[in-house]
Amino acid sequence: VNLHGSVALVTGANRGIGQAFTRALLERGAARVYAGARDPGGVTVEGADPVPLDVTDPESVASAARRLRDVDLLVNNAGIARGAPLLAAPSLADARAEMEVNYFGTLAMARAFAPVLAAHGGGAIVSMLSALSFLNLPAVGSYAASKAAAWSLTNGIRTELAGQGTLVVGVHVAFVDTEMAARIDAPKVAPDEVVRQALDAVAAGTEEVLVDDTTRGIKAALPRDLELLYPDVRRQWATR
Ligand SMILES: NC(=O)c1ccc[n+]([C@@H]2O[C@H](COP(=O)([O-])OP(=O)(O)OC[C@H]3O[C@@H](n4cnc5c(N)ncnc54)[C@H](OP(=O)(O)O)[C@@H]3O)[C@@H](O)[C@H]2O)c1
């Protein structure tokens, strides 16, 4: 997919990785970048077109799809992480909220924009996923489950959209230096690096991006995850 001259819509474009996507798309010659945000007044990237968009609100999603008929690249970036364990969380509220944004929000956007992308020769969808799509860490157990669901969804829509020629790119990364990971004390990837690799993949037609060594190691260990990954996770959880 040619980024030069493309028309992109980025969800959660007001900060973090979404803001980096918005800026980089303009730098790479996108003709227009719609910066979707719950508060479009918070969009700061010069040259972007702020658009009100809450991915959990069906009317907001439908209205965006009605108005933005020229989109050929959808970046499903909006996400939340509540930092909740699966069992010790006081209620299901955090788990439901994470599914609402990370899974149902992503699905709603893909459903609404699939016909728009089809009308422009197929285009592309980028899903911001995670190393935690592959591995459940119990301190963020419900977030990881929502990202696993979003990974499955990404693989599923790739199949369903193949007939209309839409490229579907899943981007997996460990910690990224944004507000979401502000309380994490560990090495973090720069948002610009995530976006550089993601947009290179769109340009090259690559379907999966494993941004960093941690993520590549986890994906490679999946066939033997119960032996290679979960014993360490359990040890760390027991001694926390
Ligand atoms: N940071 C990491 O370590 C990391 C690692 C792997 C994957 N990711 C994924 O990368 C994506 C971007 O994360 P980030 O690090 O940039 O997080 P962030 O700095 O917390 O930004 C999240 C963005 O999502 C938006 N958002 C939240 N709920 C929304 C909704 N209902 N509708 C529309 N937008 C909504 C936020 O808007 P408001 O400003 O209105 O809240 C904000 O713009 C997420 O999908 C995240 O899961 C992040």
**Tens digit of each residue's pLDDT (9 = 90 or more) over 153-186:** 999 999 999 999 999 999 999 999 999 999 999 9
What confidence score (pLDDT) does residue 240 get?
A: 85
The model's pLDDT over 178-216, given as tens digits with 9 standing for 90+, comes to 999 999 999 999 999 999 999 999 999 999 999 999 999
Is there an atom of ligand 1 within 6 Å of 78 CB? yes
**Which residues make Cβ contacts (< 8 Å) with residue 73, sequence separation at least 6?**
1, 3, 6, 7, 8, 9, 25, 30, 123, 124, 125, 126, 202
**What ranges make up the beta strands (E) of 26-166?**
32-37, 49-52, 73-76, 124-128
pLDDT tens by residue, 43-82: 999 999 999 999 999 999 999 999 999 999 999 999 999 9
Q: Are the C-beta atoms of residues 109 and 79 closer than 8 Å to each other?
A: no
Active site residue 143: yes
Residue 1 to residue 54: CA distance in whole angstroms: 26
Gap from CA of 163 to ligand 1 centroid (Å): 30
| CA 76 to ligand 1 centroid distance, Å | 10
